[in-house]
Structure 1
Amino acid sequence: MIEILTPAELGRAKVSGALVADILHTLKGRSAVGTNLLDIDRWAQAMILDAGAESCYVDYAPSFGRGPFGHYICTGVNDAVLHGLPRDYTLADGDLLTLDLAVSKDGVAADAAISFIVGESKPAESVAMIDATERALRAGIAAAGPGARIGDISYAIGSVLTEAGYPVNTEFGGHGIGSTMHQDPHVPNNGRPGRGYKLRPGLLLALEPWVMADTAQLVTDADGWTLRSATGCRTAHSEHTIAITDDGAEILTLPRGN
């Protein structure tokens, strides 16, 4: 299903997007050496419910997971890049943490992810990997607009990631979003320009470049959810929800004031 939002629905999407961004910004500020992943999940739960919103994850039970997910946010540490199930783990100095959050408010969802390094240690290879996903995300957004095609976005993202030297997995990528978290069209993180669905004003897309340092192969953790790099290498993930407008694309998941 591909949804095209009305102006009223787009207004609600902006509210959902700002909420997701604000929660992620707050959680990043609270995530320090000694923080437990389960505390991050509890903080996310409190902020979502206090805002009168709903988690897109608690009851999420797709075919590829061992569902329902049962938590309010995805927390991936170091080699865990997607669908990180919160667990009893205390963050250490230099850990690379990915937070992925999807929330629905007034019937419209928004989705975003950030990766950052906890504590004082800043391993250069981790900094470079996070930077590559953020640059790829900006390139994908710049390629989006009315009349562009999904392949244009995929090509822009993939070009940045491959030029930075990272293998690209296209099994999981960006997606349409609206009344539900995951919709068509699928937006691979590599592709051919000029191919795929033509973008229209009112379409919402969640774009999410993610990479693993030295492999494109994923393995599923024993929890049935967490996807890790097959080699144990570090990973990074950046994501925004955007709305296609009459003259380009608007990022909906920026913290208020940015």
Structure 2
Amino acid sequence: MITIKSEREIGLMREAGEIVGRVLDMLEEEIAPGMTTKRLDELAEQFIRDHQAVPSFLNYAPKGEPNVTPYPATLCVSINEEVVHGVPSDKRVIQEGEIVSVDCGAYKSGYHGDSARTFVVGEIAPEVQQLVDVTRECLYRGIEQAVAGNRLHDISAAIEKHARSFNYSVIENMVGHGIGSELHEDPAVPNYGRPHTGVKLRKGMTLAIEPMIALGRSRRAVSKRGAWVAVTEDGKPSAHFEHTIAIGDGPAEILTR
């Protein structure tokens, strides 16, 4: 069921979203070759708790899946061919020339904010830099379509069209989502689709839009049994950007800027 948020609720989501945005700003300054992904996670958790919020992802488990081990960290830190859900570790050291997707959520006053950025560490290959730039552009192409009166898959189609214009692959089995008092709410927001289809967008809907785009030909992110992290099928790099947005009377408001 899709929930329509009041102005009060969107205000509370704005507070959670601001914390997430500030966490990612801080990590962008801190990330460097030689740092462990666990250290990024520690910095993020401390920042979130210092701002009277709690990490959305820590101990998260999908509803209706009792056999899934709860997620053990504050951040998802996914490197190179890792699409999403990379678990921070004191054994995973960030290297020069890698791309690092950092996904962060914060829960405050009963509501969540959720955002992701792909950081470039040092010098990287031009084709990988372009992938990162285009994936970021895909996010904003999608957000431009998130206006009342449009259809959900107008967002999806805008993302897909821009990605495929560069011959990139869209990861089809990982999607964005509604968000609010629950981290994952209806509707699912795919990164591919036909324009003018899907549910009609209404004022008060809040969505986490998150394109995951790959350099190779992978259309799915695959994971080993029991592992959270999902990687491209062909081992090629993937980038990921995400914002939580609220649909209002005009252009969507980005709550995690």
Under TM normalisation by the shorter chain, which class is it? over 0.9
Q: For 1:115 and 1:251, locate their aligned partners in 2 and report how far apart those are by CA, in whole Å.
A: 18
Q: Which residue of 2 aligns with 1:245?
A: 248
Shift of 1:169: 2.4
Normalised by the size of structure 2, how large is the TM-score?
0.95
Q: Share of identical aligned residues, percent?
A: 36
Q: For 1:222 and 1:48, locate their aligned partners in 2 and report how far apart those are by CA, in whole Å.
A: 31
Q: For 2:226 and 2:255, locate their aligned partners in 1 and report how far apart those are by CA, in whole Å.
A: 32
Aligned counterpart in structure 2 of residue 118 of structure 1, from 115, 118, 121? 121
Aligned counterpart in structure 1 of residue 70 of structure 2, from 59, 68, 71? 68
Normalised by the size of structure 1, how large is the TM-score?
0.94
Q: Which residue of 1 aligns with 2:11?
A: 11
Q: Secondary structure at the match of 2:104?
A: strand
Where structure 1 has 5 or more consecutive residues not aligned to the other structure, the ranges are: none
Residue type of the alignment partner of 1:95: E
Q: Secondary structure at the match of 1:57?
A: coil
Residue type of the alignment partner of 1:97: V
Shift of 1:198: 0.9
RMSD: 1.4
Where structure 2 has 5 or more consecutive residues not aligned to the other structure, the ranges are: none
Contact 1:85/1:223 (CA < 8 Å) preserved in 2?
A: no
Q: For 2:129 and 2:228, locate their aligned partners in 1 and report how far apart those are by CA, in whole Å.
A: 26
Q: For 1:247 and 1:167, locate their aligned partners in 2 and report how far apart those are by CA, in whole Å.
A: 31
> Cα gap change, 1:20/1:64 in structure 2, threshold over 3 Å: closer, same or farther?
farther
Contact 1:100/1:112 (CA < 8 Å) preserved in 2?
A: yes
Tell me which stretches of 4 or more aligned residues in structure 1 moved more than 3 Å. 63-66
Once the two structures are superposed, what CA deviation does each residue of 1:183-216 show, in whole Å capped at 9, x if it has no partner?
1111110101111111111111000011121121
> Cα gap change, 1:64/1:225 in structure 2, threshold over 3 Å: closer, same or farther?
farther
> Cα gap change, 1:222/1:28 in structure 2, threshold over 3 Å: closer, same or farther?
farther
> Cα gap change, 1:222/1:29 in structure 2, threshold over 3 Å: closer, same or farther?
farther
Q: For 1:124 and 1:10, locate their aligned partners in 2 and report how far apart those are by CA, in whole Å.
A: 39
Q: Does 1:225 align with 2:228?
A: yes
Q: Which residue of 1 aligns with 2:145?
A: 143
Q: Aligned pairs, how many?
A: 253
Q: For 2:221 and 2:7, locate their aligned partners in 1 and report how far apart those are by CA, in whole Å.
A: 39
Shift of 1:28: 1.4
Once the two structures are superposed, what CA deviation does each residue of 1:209-228 show, in whole Å capped at 9, x if it has no partner?
11121121322146610001
Q: Which residue of 2 aligns with 1:208?
A: 210
Q: Which residue of 2 aligns with 1:181?
A: 183
Q: Which residue of 2 aligns with 1:234?
A: 237
Moved more, 62-71 or 129-138: 62-71
Q: Which residue of 2 aligns with 1:165?
A: 167
